[in-house]
Amino acid sequence: MGTTQLEPVPEPKYWHLRTVLSEALDSEFSVGEILPNERDLAARFGVARATLRQALEQLELEGRLQRRRGVGTTVAPPRVGVAVGTAQHTWPGAADDAWEPTDCELAAPPAAVAGALGTARDEPVHTVRRSRVTHGQPVAAELLYVPPSSVPDLTAIDTPSGTARARAVLRELQRGELERRDSAVELGSVGAEDAKELDRLPGAPVLVVTTRYLARGRTAALSVATYRADTCRLTFGDSGDVEIHHGPQSRAS
Amino acid sequence: MGTTQLEPVPEPKYWHLRTVLSEALDSEFSVGEILPNERDLAARFGVARATLRQALEQLELEGRLQRRRGVGTTVAPPRVGVAVGTAQHTWPGAADDAWEPTDCELAAPPAAVAGALGTARDEPVHTVRRSRVTHGQPVAAELLYVPPSSVPDLTAIDTPSGTARARAVLRELQRGELERRDSAVELGSVGAEDAKELDRLPGAPVLVVTTRYLARGRTAALSVATYRADTCRLTFGDSGDVEIHHGPQSRAS
DNA sequence: TAGTGGTCTAGACCACTTT
DNA sequence: AAGTGGTCTAGACCACTAC
């Protein structure tokens, strides 16, 4: 990364800088390596620190960099492929489940969730909180809404709220013979609570996966899962992994 | 009493501002309405314009706002659900296809694509460019890589490169009886060319959908599609639509 | 031409981690 | 204490759109 000057180009400085840095990452850095600090980098390229940061933000968004306050900026490993597949029997609570239930409570869900579940607006539902860990790193946080009618045989309140009750709800839900599910993915930003769990700052980009589980034609449960967008690649296929794409697309010349 | 840390840190201004604006959008604005300009808004809230812009960026990322240079900031409509489903027979070129082929050329693909296709590094493949339009607005741009071996009966170069050839490649590809496909979704930023096509500025966030089409156990084609992250919600289910989620998640209390 | 959002600067201070 | 990235400021100018 010996380049010291940016030749004048019609494109924005931060975008050109992004490209230059991206190429430097490919050729001169390896995964985990620490970059020079922002003040030095900005000086080296002759731009203000804010401009340099704009370029770094792009690269972080693309999963190329990882920035940690008080530590520094490192070259990120390739994104982890996390299966959100449709065909496998990965119903909530299944044996090969990658999710770890952490909590459960009975509470009225947000209005939008109640609408999708078909429950009354203030009818309480089981709200199971789960977290997903891959390679020792938290990658997703989920809220799973289960109407009591979907788990009719759930033993009463003798099980305390908390992890134990979460497992009980999942166990009963799985007895209900779920038939199908459909999901949607969209971009979001992480809220304060999830941010802590995912070890990110508030506002960090996340992929929000909303999944509706169907049983006997009814919506048996609804899940809203937020995945770290910087480290995750969501795979939907029946089979293996696709690992393509690196940075912004460019037209084949 | 000693120092307590019940309020350890004040929320960042831009984050608080985001929340305030978000609530204002819910209660005081309707879709399409124009917000006051950034300088006025910043003055009204007593912050620098850059801070105000940080809040607006968050809201735009969440699909709540739409900003257009020279025009203003407007309240965005709910995101469009675009089907990227796995079960339907939406192979490239199918009748109900939402894609419009725009161009085609024979060129060596990027190294990563060649690797996934199993072609030699500099072996040229058919590169079909398509665009997807919904409600009159462009939502996605795609590059579809088709090795010549997947379309053996394609008539020679008598068809000119361009739209006509693109259609020819798709037609032949569909004769190959595609069996399966698997996809991956990740966050990316739009490159200069796609930015123009999607009517966004370079660096705007996109959802990159990489799809591998399989036929007779081989990878018959590979598609890299970039969807506007601000306006799109990708639906993967077999059936209907799920419309949940609004803004960052908050723990159910 | 006037008004909008987009880019850029040169600072300052804060929160956090490591030494 | 030193060093890092995160936040914030108060300006300036540019690119684009509409009138």
Using a 7 Å CB cutoff, list residues 18-37 of A near strand D.
35, 37
**Looking at residue B188, what is its pLDDT?**
95
Instruction: With cut-offs at 50, 70 and 90, classify the pLDDT of residue A136.
Output: confident
| Token pair belonging to A253 | 């010349």
**B45 strand D contact, CB < 7 Å:** no
Kindly indicate the confidence band of residue B86, based on its pLDDT and cuts at 50, 70 and 90.
Answer: low
Say which CATH architecture domain B13-75 belongs to: Orthogonal Bundle (1.10)
Q: What are phi and psi of B247, to 5 degrees?
A: 80, -170
Q: For residue B2, what pLDDT is reported? A: 29
Q: What is the pLDDT of residue A253?
A: 29
Task: Please check the confidence at residue B100 and state whether its pLDDT lies above 50.
Answer: yes
**Identity of the residue in A112, A192, A244 whose CB atom sits nearest the CB atom of B112:** A244
Of the partner residues B237, B244, B252, the one whose CB lies closest to the CB of residue A116: B244
Q: What percent of chain A stands above pLDDT 90? A: 54
- Report how far residue B235's alpha carbon sits from residue B79's, in angstroms, rounded to the nearest whole number: 11
CA A63 vs. chain centroid, Å, equals 12
Task: Give the span between the Cα atoms of A236 and A192, in whole angstroms.
Answer: 28
Using the predicted structure, report yes or no on whether residue B77 has a pLDDT greater than 90. Answer: yes
A34 against B6, higher pLDDT: A34
Among A126, A169, A185, the strongest candidate for a mutation testing the B interface, having the largest count of B CBs within 10 A, is: A185
Segment B160-180 mean pLDDT: 83
Q: Quote the CATH superfamily of domain B80-235.
A: Chorismate lyase-like (3.40.1410.10)
Per domain, the residue ranges of chain B are: 13-75, 80-235
Residue A244 is predicted with a pLDDT of 58
Top pLDDT among A128 and A161 is at A128
pLDDT for res A184:
94
> Does residue A230 carry a pLDDT above 90?
yes
At B253 the pLDDT is 29
Q: For residue B42, what pLDDT is reported?
A: 97
CA geometry: angle A202, A208, A214, nearest 5 deg: 145
Q: Give dist(CA A196, CA A104) in Å, integer.
A: 18
Return d(Cα A198, Cα A228) in angstroms, integer.
Answer: 7
Minimum CA–CA partner of A208 in chain B: B245
- pLDDT tens for B174-204 read 887 777 788 999 999 998 888 888 888 889 9
The confidence band for A77, taking pLDDT boundaries of 50, 70 and 90, is very high
- C-alpha to C-alpha distance for B152 and B172, rounded to whole angstroms: 8
Locate B55 and state its tokens: 């809040």
Query: Is residue A38's beta carbon less than 7 angstroms from any atom in nucleic acid strand D?
Result: yes
For residue B243, give how far its alpha carbon lies from the nearest alpha carbon of chain A (Å): 8
Domains B13-75 and B80-235 share a fold: no
Q: What is the CA radius of gyration of chain B?
A: 23
Structure confidence at residue B160 as a pLDDT band (50, 70, 90):
low
Q: How far is the CA of A249 from the C1' of C1 (A)?
A: 38
CB-facing half-sphere around the CA of A20: CA atoms within 13 A = 21
List the one residue out of A76, A91, A65 whose CA is nearest residue A176. Answer: A91
Those of residues 143-162 in A touching chain B at CB distance below 8 A are: 143
Asked if strand D comes closer than 7 Å to A71 Cβ, the answer is yes
pLDDT band (50, 70, 90) for residue A250:
very low
Strand (E) positions, A158-217? 180-189, 205-215
Would you say the C-alpha torsion A229, A231, A237, A243 has a positive or negative sign? Answer: positive
pLDDT class of A87 with cuts at 50, 70, 90 = low
Chain D nucleotides near the protein (CB, 7 A): 3-12, 15-18
